[in-house]
Structure 1
């Protein structure tokens, strides 16, 4: 692929990811995406013959970004455990993980193309390494599983409901601090035991 064509393809992918951070996946058409990317619809379809192909290209891009951030965090963790851990989570949070993952995830992980599945496995392996490093330094409680951590981060990094965003300034980002603090203390063993009790 020529350098200009590759640059155009990458621009379409990053534009699509940015759109998914602020728009519901199903509200966007290929025409919307082409317009925002500044390319013709024919050019968009020439690069991505259907929406699934475009979504998987975005997923591949996202996984590569996350893997790069993970490797950087793993290599620098011993120098400043709390600073690296906080910064790593802030970077994922700022990149709109909570919007992008639901938009790009198929109904079944079995539907992921092989190259995307391989990146997902690498991401999971790196997540486990990071969680273990965080546990060693008292930043994550021993009862927190890697899956619980990532689902929690995805959940809190979803864009706030517009009507609720006015309740407290920067309340959305404040959730990250609360979340990281909660990771240190672990899950309440008796949660749900008092349901229905006076």
Structure 2
């Protein structure tokens, strides 16, 4: 913290350590859920416990940071995918990333609920951010003439949320993929 109360930018090594911790925490929480030990996260990240606790003094702080980081990564992927792929291919790729995000979130669901019960709001603007990403992708698809225009981002976001509610978890991924394919096929313009 600087004298004026703003955060100092992290040094490159500190930023790398933080990113390694967040990536490791996603893997550990996805597989072990709320039972995951903080020391396991540190070991998976290849950092010491002191480094972990310096960045995230509590389990709740780590869970919240992981959740916010995953939402940001998901939403930032939309324009990047559009830059690399045709619109419908970008939309399909992004929805698969959405399933990855949901699977990670599912592993953290108990921890997220605990945060909410304690009065914290880890979700913040996440739903709005996801809908904005969906809108960006759908607008590009509509402009290319490859999707129906009678459905909007709220419709697709609701469908994705439904798939997430019924098919969250790694063991249900094949079903989620099938439901996702069905949804996107229904969105496509028919010749």
Out of 37, 40, 43, which is 1:35 matched to? 43
Q: CA, structure 1 residues 48+62, in 2 after alignment: closer, same or farther (shift >3 Å)? A: same
Aligned residues: 169
* Contact persistence 2:92–2:184 (CA under 8 A): no
Q: CA, structure 1 residues 153+68, in 2 after alignment: closer, same or farther (shift >3 Å)? A: farther
Q: CA, structure 1 residues 181+139, in 2 after alignment: closer, same or farther (shift >3 Å)? A: farther
The residue that corresponds to 2:93 in the other structure is 87
The residue that corresponds to 2:120 in the other structure is 111
Does residue 164 of structure 2 align to residue 154 of structure 1?
yes
Q: CA, structure 1 residues 62+150, in 2 after alignment: closer, same or farther (shift >3 Å)? A: same
Question: Which residues of structure 1 form unaligned runs of 5+?
Answer: 162-171, 187-198
Q: Deviations for 1:144-171, whole angstroms, at most 9, x for unmatched residues?
A: 724422313434352117xxxxxxxxxx
Q: Report the Cα distance in structure 2 between the residues aligned to 1:132 and 1:43, rounded to whole angstroms.
A: 43
* Contact persistence 2:22–2:66 (CA under 8 A): yes
The residue that corresponds to 1:10 in the other structure is 19
Matches within 5 A, 1:20-59: 20-24=29-33, 26-59=34-67
Q: CA deviation at 1:11?
A: 0.7
Does residue 175 of structure 2 align to residue 181 of structure 1?
no
* Contact persistence 1:70–1:88 (CA under 8 A): yes
Q: CA deviation at 1:9?
A: 1.4
The residue that corresponds to 1:101 in the other structure is 105
Question: Which residues of structure 2 form unaligned runs of 5+?
Answer: 1-9
- TM-score, scaled relative to structure 2: 0.68
- TM-score, scaled relative to structure 1: 0.66
Task: Determine helix, strand or coil for the equivalent of 1:117.
Answer: coil
Q: Report the Cα distance in structure 1 between the residues aligned to 2:170 and 2:71, rounded to whole angstroms.
A: 20
Q: In angstroms, what is the RMSD of aligned CA positions? A: 3.3
The residue that corresponds to 2:132 in the other structure is 125
Task: Determine helix, strand or coil for the equivalent of 1:44.
Answer: helix
Q: Report the Cα distance in structure 2 between the residues aligned to 1:6 and 1:33, rounded to whole angstroms.
A: 16
Q: Deviations for 1:14-71, whole angstroms, at most 9, x for unmatched residues?
A: 11012223222x1202122222222222221111110111111112221221112122
